[in-house]
């Protein structure tokens, strides 16, 4: 029986994505696997604002680097929660903050650009490694005002970061959801907060 190619598969871009999705399935060896790790986190109060400092390590896989260098921007999320620990049931969420950074490659200038979505600040770098080092350094990120936290309340902080697949162009999302190289997240990292 002959295979009849669906109309949607005839589009060149979708054909490439479909083929690479098949190749990225089980058993496909990834030479350069993506990984994100959290090395250090702390929090402090500055001018009555709780701020977070962190050192994160981003390693991109071959497919994500290829997409970036071909003009696909990558959006990374940094999710931070302050929780009140409880013994008998799950911890109570007190504060949740999500921070977004976009990484782009500009081929004409051969520059990597990081954009902070909250402030619209932009940073340019000659190398991808330098851009990833900047992405991984969180310094005095404001989370919440001190007045929002009850004095003496025991608090646990947790942070995670990853690649936001939903921010990719629609034709690439299927490939991203099916490939472990794109579904990369640090997992939660916890620390104790002094209130």
Q: Is 129 within the bounds of a domain?
A: yes
Integer Cα distance of 193 and 24 in angstroms:
41
Q: Is 24 within the bounds of a domain?
A: no
Q: Which stretches does DSSP call E strand in 17-176?
A: 35-46, 49-59, 74-84, 92-106, 111-116, 122-125, 137-145, 155-163
Orientation angle between helical segments 170-178 and 12-23, nearest 10 degrees: 10
Pair of tokens at residue 87: 């013994």
Q: Evaluate whether 39 touches 189 at the Cβ level (below 8 Å).
A: no
> Does residue 165 register a pLDDT over 50?
yes
Q: Is 127 within the bounds of a domain?
A: yes
Its domain, for residue 47, covers: 37-193
User: How many structural domains compose the chain?
Assistant: 1
- The model scores a pTM over 0.85: no
> Does residue 9 register a pLDDT over 60?
no
Q: Is 23 within the bounds of a domain?
A: no
Residues facing 145 on adjacent strands: 49
Note the pLDDT of residue 28: 37
Integer Cα distance of 56 and 45 in angstroms:
21
Average pLDDT of the residues of the chain: 85
Q: Is 153 within the bounds of a domain?
A: yes
pLDDT (tens digit per residue) in 136-163: 999 999 999 999 998 888 999 999 999 9
> Does residue 66 register a pLDDT over 90?
yes
Q: Evaluate whether 80 touches 143 at the Cβ level (below 8 Å).
A: yes
Q: Evaluate whether 140 touches 51 at the Cβ level (below 8 Å).
A: yes
Q: Is 12 within the bounds of a domain?
A: no
Q: Is 32 within the bounds of a domain?
A: no
Q: Is 2 within the bounds of a domain?
A: no
Average pLDDT score over residue span 41-45: 96
3-class DSSP assignment, residue 71? coil
């Amino acid at each position: 029986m002959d295979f009849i190619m669906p109309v949607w598969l005839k589009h060149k871009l979708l054909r490439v994505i479909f083929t690479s999705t098949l190749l990225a399935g089980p058993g496909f060896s990834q030479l350069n696997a993506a990984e994100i790790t959290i090395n250090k986190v702390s929090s402090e109060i500055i001018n009555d604002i709780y701020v977070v400092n962190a050192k994160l390590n981003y390693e991109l896989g071959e497919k994500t680097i290829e997409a970036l260098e071909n003009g696909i921007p990558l959006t990374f999320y940094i999710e931070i929660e302050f929780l009140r620990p409880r013994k008998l049931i799950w911890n109570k969420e007190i504060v949740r903050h999500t921070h977004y950074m976009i990484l782009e490659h500009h081929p004409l200038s051969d520059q990597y650009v990081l954009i902070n979505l909250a402030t619209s600040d932009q940073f340019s770098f000659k190398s991808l490694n330098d851009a990833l080092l900047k992405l991984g350094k969180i310094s005095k990120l404001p989370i919440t005002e001190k007045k929002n936290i009850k004095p003496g309340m025991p608090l646990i902080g947790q942070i995670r970061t990853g690649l936001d697949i939903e921010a990719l162009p629609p034709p690439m999302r299927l490939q991203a959801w099916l490939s472990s190289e794109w579904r990369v997240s640090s997992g939660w990292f916890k620390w104790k907060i002094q209130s």
